[in-house]
Amino acid sequence: MNRRLLVATFGDEEDILAATRRVRETGYSIVDVFTPFAVHGLDTAAGVKPTRLPWVCFALGLSGAVAKLWYQIWTSATSWPVNVGGKPVNSVPAFVPVTFEIMVLFAAVGTVAAFLIVSRLRPGRRPAHVYDRTTDDRFTLVLLQDDAGFDVDAVRRLLQPFGLLDLSERTEIPPEKPPRGSLLVRPGYIGALGGGVILFTLLTYLTPRDFTEPNLMVLPGMVRSVPFDPFAANDIFPDGKTLRMPVAGTIARGYYPIDSSKSVEIADEVRSRYSKLSPGERSRLDERALQVFSTFCQPCHGTSGAGDGLIVGHGYPPPPALTGVSALRLKDGEMFNLITYGRGNMPALGHRVPREDRWLAIRHIRQLQQKAVTTAEGEGP
Amino acid sequence: MADPTTGLRRPLIGGDKSYADVTREVCAPLERKSPAAWWMTISAALAMLVVGVVAVTYQLRTGIGTWGLNNTVGWAFDITNFVFWIGIGHAGTLISAILFLFNQKWRTSVNRSAEAMTLFAVVCAGIFPVIHMGRPWLAHWVIPYPNARGPLWVNFRSPLVWDMFAISTYFIVSLVFWYVGLIPDLATIRDRAVSKVKKAVTNFFSFGWDGSNRTWHRYETIYLLLAGLATPLVVSVHTIVSWDFATSLIPGWHTTIFPPYFVAGAVFSGFAMVLTLMLVVRKVLHFEDYITLHHVDAMSKVIIATGGIVALAYATEFFVALYSGNEYERFTFVNRALGPYAWAYWIMVGCNIGIPQLLWSKKVRSNVAAVFVISLLINVGMWFERFVIITISLSRDYLPASWATYSPTTIEIATLVGSFGLFFTLFLLFSRFLPMIAIGEVKGVLKYGRPDGKEPRE
């Protein structure tokens, strides 16, 4: 149906505001107002209902946040839980930043998309109404001549005081066939695009490929690095070897240098340090010693060190008694090496028990030996 | 700042213009032939870009060993550049979103260019972490998509993953915000276009905008929503960037002051960059009536404020290092000021704390050349701030045995030069093909403070 429109043009923000307000009060029906910029208050003046886009924004933000929180919990705690630094797999506080970002992303992009949809704006769309200089400096008020008695002169008289620049009549003829639209929505174009995609997919699937071979690699230099063979000759170094000696005067981390020529002085120093400890510190050392002993020695050698630990009851060959003669004869250093490197059925404990703890265990064993000797003497004649 | 004779506020736009004047003047640079100066500057920018492309190609082919990094200093030049560029970007969002929420009308003249600067800075920033990956063709592995490796997901507890989300969200939202602002202005260009090609292209990109009041109403609503979303976003982005450091255990990095300190530093450096660019733009494109001395004045004040926060943060770091009683922390800060990189530290202090104090003087603020030089020096200082935080802290940590020094290689410097080339190339293309001033928004504040207009309604 053709619509007969009346187009009034103004040159100022204040004029269009006042004119629109007056026209609406008088009862004419406003088709739309076109302005070069956002004129504040024009929406209420023209009777435009407040938009519901804020609700869209809220809903999208909320759904983005919920979806992303769920996704993080699902990937980290359900799909493939990975222990990272002993932290709980479901560490929700750590998921807050990404949840926030995705909330903003969904809300912002979604709101703009919703705005484009409700405002019918899309790439390549031709403007529905074209009035001269609307995007420059003209403010256009479009009225609908909705009945036969519509008096154009009355409108002119009404609008004259508001600095009316031009008043003209227009007939809006609805397009007979739907507008051709942009390049992107033309059926032929979509067909060509879709056909291309299908053709490409088909070609991809029909191309013979060898799945046992790796894919095409871009810049493979960093994928396969070429290390030197440790024992191969190497002309980079003056001595022609790949393996390097440690720099003179250095110690590898984790190794402890022992100067055997000073063992007596060291022992004296340790003894004097021990004598200066408070009773509380001594009892703490004793507790630690007992703990180390019961963890690493007791299962085989038994609580009292008699060689009657748990494992003997399970059929394991009984280990030597720690209170036996051979053990009594062992020097502290020998015992330390024995614990560190193991012997016979005894495993090496050097890498499992820290150095200090090994010495503490020896101290505990010595105490057990003392007890055993005293008991034996007491039982003797 | 009302005028005592008329009781009106000072106009935001100089030169008593009509709406048509604004359209014509802002569109003028797009409609005339590119001046020789433009060709010369874009040639220089492209030359810098080529240097960067060559450097990046070489280091991708050869490996990260082309950089000066070692076991101790594993993050240095590239991460400095990354944080520098991200920081630059923040002023754009601050101007377009935070100043919008605070109703600072003067932002209308600079927000378009500042937002463009944000986008280009984020593009430059994004390059560095990707190169740093060493195998950038696997960069998509940082995205948690269903894959054939398990599926193996990313570690959502890692600040580096947060960073990826923060920066890509920041880029997308800034792009959308910027584009939404551009739509009405693209329609203006479309309606002015003479050539058929230009008309078709601008028609495609202006989405059929016709200036309808209903659309404007929705447009204003979503602009407000986007500003409300972008404000916490911009704070979150640099907060998360600072977490890259703060969640580690390196003395000098492991501090709770980092998020506010980084955000303030970002705004500080960003405003310096906005000033640098705007002072050139207003001169070259004759936008003196749009980017007036009052704009320069207002931005200088923002610089004093954020520079003050940065100075306070520097002092706080030192105080906490002293007060904590932690010997490593204390050493780190003594080492910053007096160690082998002391020169970098004192450049940073001089440019970020010393130089901006000149802006307290009204005389300096109204001297365009002086403000330009100060803004350049702040850019230098803020680059060095990131270098100081990242490199000095790493070079001397807990074990003296593992101390090392770092100096950039030619390749790293060429990459930085290339990022500047990319930034200026994009900015120059923008200045040539898009309106640098938001035409619609400026028209909205044109009557501000003029006798024929009235006080802006809020």
Q: Report whether B209 contacts B48 (CB < 8 A).
A: no
Angle formed by the axes of helices B111-132 and B159-192, to 10°?
140
Contacts with B, A 270-309, CB within 8 Å: none
For residue range B335-359, what is the model confidence (pLDDT) as tens digits?
Answer: 999 988 999 999 999 999 999 999 9
Q: How confident is the model at residue B450 (pLDDT cuts 50, 70, 90)?
A: low
What residues form DSSP beta bridges with A34? Answer: A140, B212
Task: Report chain B's mean pLDDT, rounded to a whole number.
Answer: 88
Question: CA-based angle A320:A323:A329, to the nearest 5?
Answer: 90
Residues of B with Cβ-Cβ distance to A218 under 8 angstroms: 137
Residues whose CB falls within 8 Å of the CB of residue B289, separated by 6 or more in sequence, listed in order: B13, B14, B15, B17, B25
The 3-state secondary structure of chain B, one letter per residue: CECCCCCCECCCCCCCCCHHHHHHHHHHHHHCCCCHHHHHHHHHHHHHHHHHHHHHHHHHHHCHHHCCCCCCCCCCHHHHHHHHHHHHHHHHHHHHHHHHHCCCHHHHHCHHHHHHHHHHHHHHHHHHHHHHCCCHHHHHHHCCCCCCCCCCCCCCCCHHHHHHHHHHHHHHHHHHHHHHHHHHHHHHHHHHCCCHHHHHHHHHHCCCCCCEHHHHHHHHHHHHHHHHHHHHHHHHHHHHHHHHHHCCCCCCCCCCCHHHHHHHHHHHHHHHHHHHHHHHHHHHCCCCCCCCHHHHHHHHHHHHHHHHHHHHHHHHHHHHHHHHCCHHHHHHHHHHHHCCCHHHHHHHHHHHHHHHHHHHCHHHHCCHHHHHHHHHHHHHHHHHHHHHHHHHHHHCCCCHHHCCCCCCCHHHHHHHHHHHHHHHHHHHHHHHHCCCCCHHHHHHCCCCCCCCCCCCCC
Whether residue B207 and residue A129 make contact (CB cut-off 8 A), yes or no, is no
Number of alpha carbons in the 13 Å side-chain half-sphere of residue B438: 29
Both tokens of B56, joined, read: 């990046």
Q: Nearest 10 degrees: CA dihedral of B284, B290, B295, B296?
A: 20
Both tokens of A372, joined, read: 């055993």
**Alpha carbon separation from A217 to A223, B64, B137 (Å, rounded):** 9, 18, 9
Instruction: Kindly report the nearest CA distance between residue B403 and chain A, in angstroms.
Output: 16
Between CA B378 and CA A264 the distance in angstroms is: 65
pLDDT at B386: 92
Q: How confident is the model at residue B454 (pLDDT cuts 50, 70, 90)?
A: very low
The answer, for A99 touching chain B at a CB cutoff of 8 Å, is no
Positions of chain A with pLDDT lower than 50, given as ranges: none
Residue B405, pLDDT above cutoff 90: no
What CATH architecture does domain A279-379 belong to? Orthogonal Bundle (1.10)
Which residue of A lies nearest to B138 if distances are taken between CA atoms? A218
The answer, for B50 touching chain A at a CB cutoff of 8 Å, is no
Give the one of A40, A105, A135 whose C-beta lies nearest to B188's C-beta.
A135
Q: How confident is the model at residue B180 (pLDDT cuts 50, 70, 90)?
A: very high
Instruction: Tell me the percentage of chain B whose pLDDT exceeds 90.
Output: 41
Q: Report whether B227 contacts B218 (CB < 8 A).
A: no
A3-10/A139-144 β-pairing: antiparallel
Contacts with B, A 51-70, CB within 8 Å: 51, 53-54, 57, 61
Q: How confident is the model at residue B82 (pLDDT cuts 50, 70, 90)?
A: very high
Both tokens of A133, joined, read: 């200089």
Residues of B with Cβ-Cβ distance to A79 under 8 angstroms: 151, 153
Instruction: Kindly report the nearest CA distance between residue A109 and chain B, in angstroms.
Output: 7
The answer, for A183 touching chain B at a CB cutoff of 8 Å, is yes
Residues of A with Cβ-Cβ distance to B457 under 8 angstroms: 40-41
For residue range A248-279, what is the model confidence (pLDDT) as tens digits?
Answer: 888 877 777 767 777 788 888 888 888 899 99
Residues of A with Cβ-Cβ distance to B220 under 8 angstroms: 38
pLDDT at B456: 41
Q: Which residue has the tokens 């009308």?
A: B105
Chain Cα centroid distance, residue B292: 21
Contacts with A, B 174-193, CB within 8 Å: 176-177, 180, 183-184, 187-188, 190-192
Between CA A84 and CA A82 the distance in angstroms is: 6
Instruction: Kindly report the nearest CA distance between residue A141 and chain B, in angstroms.
Output: 10
The answer, for A108 touching chain B at a CB cutoff of 8 Å, is yes
Query: Residue A182 in 3-state DSSP?
Result: coil
Whether residue B192 and residue A53 make contact (CB cut-off 8 A), yes or no, is no
Residue B166, pLDDT above cutoff 90: yes
Residues of A with Cβ-Cβ distance to B18 under 8 angstroms: 137
Instruction: Kindly report the nearest CA distance between residue A364 and chain B, in angstroms.
Output: 35
Whether residue B156 and residue A98 make contact (CB cut-off 8 A), yes or no, is yes
For residue range B276-306, what is the model confidence (pLDDT) as tens digits?
Answer: 988 888 888 888 888 888 888 888 999 999 9
For residue range B362-373, what is the model confidence (pLDDT) as tens digits?
Answer: 898 888 899 999
Give the one of B155, B210, B217 whose C-beta lies nearest to A51's C-beta.
B217
Contacts with A, B 60-89, CB within 8 Å: 60-63
Query: Residue A51 in 3-state DSSP?
Result: coil
The domain ranges of chain A are 3-172, 279-379
Residues of A with Cβ-Cβ distance to B17 under 8 angstroms: none
Both tokens of A6, joined, read: 């009346």
pLDDT at A221: 64
Q: Report whether A131 contacts B242 (CB < 8 A).
A: no
pLDDT at B382: 92
The answer, for A42 touching chain B at a CB cutoff of 8 Å, is yes
pLDDT at B384: 93
Among the listed residues A171, A161, A167, the one whose alpha carbon sits nearest the alpha carbon of residue A140: A167
Give the one of B169, B208, B230 whose C-beta lies nearest to A101's C-beta.
B169
Whether residue A105 and residue B173 make contact (CB cut-off 8 A), yes or no, is yes
Q: How confident is the model at residue B457 (pLDDT cuts 50, 70, 90)?
A: very low
The answer, for B41 touching chain A at a CB cutoff of 8 Å, is no
Task: State residue A343 phi and psi, 5-degree precision.
Answer: -160, 140
Instruction: Kindly report the nearest CA distance between residue A26 and chain B, in angstroms.
Output: 20
**Domains detected in chain B:** 47-433 (1.20.1630.10)
Contacts with B, A 243-272, CB within 8 Å: none
Q: Is the peptide bond before B151 cis (omega within 30 degrees of 0)?
A: yes
Instruction: Kindly report the nearest CA distance between residue A135 and chain B, in angstroms.
Output: 5
Contacts with A, B 256-285, CB within 8 Å: none
Task: State residue A230 phi and psi, 5-degree precision.
Answer: -55, -30
For residue range B193-232, what is the model confidence (pLDDT) as tens digits?
Answer: 888 888 888 888 888 888 888 889 999 999 999 999 999 9
Give the one of B180, B213, B447 whose C-beta lies nearest to A43's C-beta.
B213
The answer, for B353 touching chain A at a CB cutoff of 8 Å, is no
Which residue of B lies nearest to A182 if distances are taken between CA atoms? B204
Between CA A140 and CA B213 the distance in angstroms is: 10
Query: Residue A9 in 3-state DSSP?
Result: strand
Residues of A with Cβ-Cβ distance to B103 under 8 angstroms: none
pLDDT at B439: 87
Residue B84, pLDDT above cutoff 70: yes
